[in-house]
Structure 1
Amino acid sequence: MKPIRRLFAYLAVLAALSPIPALAAEYPDKPVTLIVTFPPGGGTDLLARLIGTELQKNWKQTVVVENRAGASGNIGAQAVARSPADGYTLLMVNSSFAVNPSVFRKLPFDPKADFTPVINVAYVPSVFLVPPDSPFQTLKEALAVAKAGRQVTFGSCGNGTPQHLAGEMLAVDSHVKLQHVPYRGCGPALTDLLGQQVSMAIVTASSAMPYITSGKARALAVTSKARSPFLPAVPTVAEEGHPGYELDQWHGFLAPAHTPKAVVDKLNADIAAIVQSKEIKERMTQLLYVTASDSPEAFKKLVWEDIDRFGQLTAKMGLKLD
């Protein structure tokens, strides 16, 4: 073999054996953007900023958190789906991402084909809240009023959000009509609850806790399978007469489809180390999140199964949005 051919053969073998470690070692060598699908101040945004700050410290590289709210997260998701698959634009989402394919008639992206799951970082239940002077002392009482034909409204964090689905699931299971009032985030829903513009609000526990502890709102039930360790006196929806009812909200990171495995694995390892660190774990606990650090494969299984599960639920409800 001629020397020049031997050189090319050697380089080809070397490239075949080592491109992934080299890529992982170089990443990130420029700013990384975390796109959040909801407005600033909400739970998803708080988690993205908390983790983004730590990534910036550890990487010694700029990490920008960019809020692209609207259409229950679809606007931000579309932006990431169309971004280069290089790990420099990531999507921070919650369970709304898995609800949207079944409630919106048309999405500008394919939730399974256009994304690569990276890691799930946290779970949080949602809470049914009422103003402190509400006549409803329990969830059963609110449903009894609805069964009697009187209007009971519930505000949610937006169309197609887990909180929206939580209210619709309860209505279907109770055989009653609950009037949904969507908001652009949990914050606005809470504002109108305090102003008594809606009978109830369904928001994340992390958003609700300051209002509960200050006495500005009362919690009727949580949507998790078991009682929240942060609200031990508040019953689950299942305990209020709806066996099998469960809807926890997860939060995690996605990358564009075809992002190199080495980059996905590095992101997973670096974010998992942050979430499991004592300081960040304590901070997330204060925000009422149960921490998680799934592998990319485990998170993919969770997201894909939730897309299918919510599809079955919304088909049963006949729930569709334009």
Structure 2
Amino acid sequence: MSCTISCGIRRRDILVAGAVLMACVGLSMHAHAQAADFPTRPIQLVVAAPAGGPSDAVARMLAEDMAKMLGQAVIVDNKPGAGGAIAADAVARAAPDGHTLLLSWIGNATNQTLLPRQALDINRDFLHITQVVSGANVLVARPGVAGSLRELLLLAKAQPAKLSYASAGNGSSGHLAMEMLKQRAGVSLVHIPYRGGALALNDLLGGQVDLMFLNQDAVMPYVRSGRLVALAISSSARNAQLAEVPTVAESGFPGFEATAWAGLSAPRGTPDAMVQRLHAAALKVLQGPFRTKQEAIGAQVVGSTPAQYAAFVRSETDKWAVVIKTAGIRPD
């Protein structure tokens, strides 16, 4: 009797295991078939910036080249506002079928701390495909303020809260870079936030403020003409376009790095085969004319694996959380 029961249980277990195996095989075949046909319609690339800005330019250049690789149009959809939360929320709610992507950026990482009540989590709700570019911020001063970072910090320590610095707004990459430098150097500077980098740069050039961190492509013409003095660059290594400008790290602050970056991300649940297809297409784009054009303006083209980009986004989230909380930064 026990043998009959035991044999019956074993037969039932085998039948159940076989059914599960067949279901898994069927799902796998279906996923592969979907990936082979992907994409089946135009891809929407959502950007958290208005048309005409640096992020929009990166997105449009990337979209044009990726369309050639994928055989479908890649349409840039500008959804500015709320520090990037509007764009990210739209993508997180989209069908996870590879046809809606986010140009993820540093703002998505800093929003985890700046906007603590938002339901969205850039590390939980997305699959990260690859980091595309990284742009350094250059610490520039109006002529006569200081000739080096060391000289600037000595002045700031001797005259606390006298020097002012501009930024593109509370929580912008330039603001965060300066706050991290202030915390590392132990100095006090007066923050003057603007609604955008262009307005801040205009007042720096006009002498209304003393210094600021700003993207390298925006400041290069003024540094070369002598209208601004470049004191240091926030990347981990020197930039070929401003090779004579030392990094903050080599100027006495090892490990200092503060860059404005962007990459490609998809809603969580997007099939791995589609993520890999998008990753392969993106890497080919990053090795072509896209690289040449970006490097010409001082940007670093990256091209990381999905795992590397996911780890990078998490590390940026953690790093800037410390800076934001220590400085008590709140969004505009």
TM bucket by the smaller chain?
0.7 to 0.9
User: Normalising by structure 2, what TM-score?
Assistant: 0.84
Task: Write out aligned runs for 1:141-152 (5 A).
Answer: 141-147=151-157, 148-152=159-163
Write the deviation string for residues 83-120 of structure 1: whole angstroms up to 9, x where unpaired. Answer: 22222221113222222212333224122221111111
SS of the residue 2:241 aligns to: coil
Q: Aligned pair 1:308/2:318, yes or no?
A: yes
User: Normalising by structure 1, what TM-score?
Assistant: 0.86
CA contact (8 A) 1:72 1:159 kept: no
Q: How far apart in 2 are the matches of 1:242 and 1:16?
A: 52
Q: How far apart in 2 are the matches of 1:229 and 1:57?
A: 30
Task: Write out aligned runs for 1:27-66 (5 A).
Answer: 27-66=38-77
Question: Would the alpha carbon gap of residues 261 and 158 (structure 1) be closer, same or farther in structure 2, given more than 3 Å must change?
Answer: farther
SS of the residue 1:18 aligns to: helix
Equivalenced residues, count: 313
Question: Would the alpha carbon gap of residues 178 and 75 (structure 1) be closer, same or farther in structure 2, given more than 3 Å must change?
Answer: farther
Q: How far apart in 2 are the matches of 1:205 and 1:302?
A: 22
Q: Aligned pair 1:232/2:243, yes or no?
A: yes
Q: CA deviation at 1:46?
A: 2.0
Q: Partner residue of 1:293?
A: 303
Q: How far apart in 1 are the matches of 2:232 and 2:21?
A: 65
Q: How far apart in 2 are the matches of 1:63 and 1:124?
A: 23
SS of the residue 2:145 aligns to: coil
Q: CA deviation at 1:22?
A: 1.4
Residue type of the alignment partner of 2:270: T
Write the deviation string for residues 6-59 of structure 1: whole angstroms up to 9, x where unpaired. Answer: xx9999576334122211122222222212223334332222111111122333
Q: CA deviation at 1:253?
A: 1.0
Q: CA deviation at 1:314?
A: 3.0
Q: 4+ residue stretches of structure 1 with deviation over 6 A? A: 8-11
Q: CA deviation at 1:69?
A: 2.3
Q: How far apart in 1 are the matches of 2:103 and 2:160?
A: 40
Write the deviation string for residues 140-197 of structure 1: whole angstroms up to 9, x where unpaired. Answer: 3433443313532222233223221111011122222222233444333323322333
SS of the residue 2:112 aligns to: helix
Question: Would the alpha carbon gap of residues 171 and 266 (structure 1) be closer, same or farther in structure 2, given more than 3 Å must change?
Answer: same
Q: 2:185 aligns with which of 149, 154, 174?
A: 174
Residue type of the alignment partner of 1:263: M
Which is worse superposed, 119-128 or 224-233? 224-233
Q: CA deviation at 1:79?
A: 2.1
CA contact (8 A) 1:42 1:186 kept: no
CA contact (8 A) 2:171 2:329 kept: no
Structure 1 stretches lacking a partner, 5+ long: 1-7
Task: Write out aligned runs for 1:210-249 (5 A).
Answer: 210-249=221-260
SS of the residue 1:56 aligns to: helix
Question: Would the alpha carbon gap of residues 173 and 44 (structure 1) be closer, same or farther in structure 2, given more than 3 Å must change?
Answer: same
Q: Partner residue of 1:15?
A: 26
Write the deviation string for residues 206-235 of structure 1: whole angstroms up to 9, x where unpaired. Answer: 332233334443312101223222211112
The two structures, once aligned, show a CA RMSD in angstroms of 2.6
SS of the residue 1:225 aligns to: coil
CA contact (8 A) 2:161 2:190 kept: no
Q: How far apart in 2 are the matches of 1:307 and 1:65?
A: 26
Q: Partner residue of 1:122?
A: 133
Which is worse superposed, 154-163 or 287-296? 154-163
Q: How far apart in 1 are the matches of 2:329 and 2:21?
A: 59
Q: CA deviation at 1:252?
A: 0.5
Q: Among the aligned pairs, what percent are the same residue?
A: 35
Question: Would the alpha carbon gap of residues 105 and 178 (structure 1) be closer, same or farther in structure 2, given more than 3 Å must change?
Answer: farther
Residue type of the alignment partner of 1:242: F
Q: Partner residue of 1:98?
A: 109
CA contact (8 A) 1:37 1:67 kept: yes
Q: How far apart in 2 are the matches of 1:129 and 1:287?
A: 17
Structure 2 stretches lacking a partner, 5+ long: 1-18
Q: CA deviation at 1:127?
A: 0.6
Q: Partner residue of 1:3?
A: none
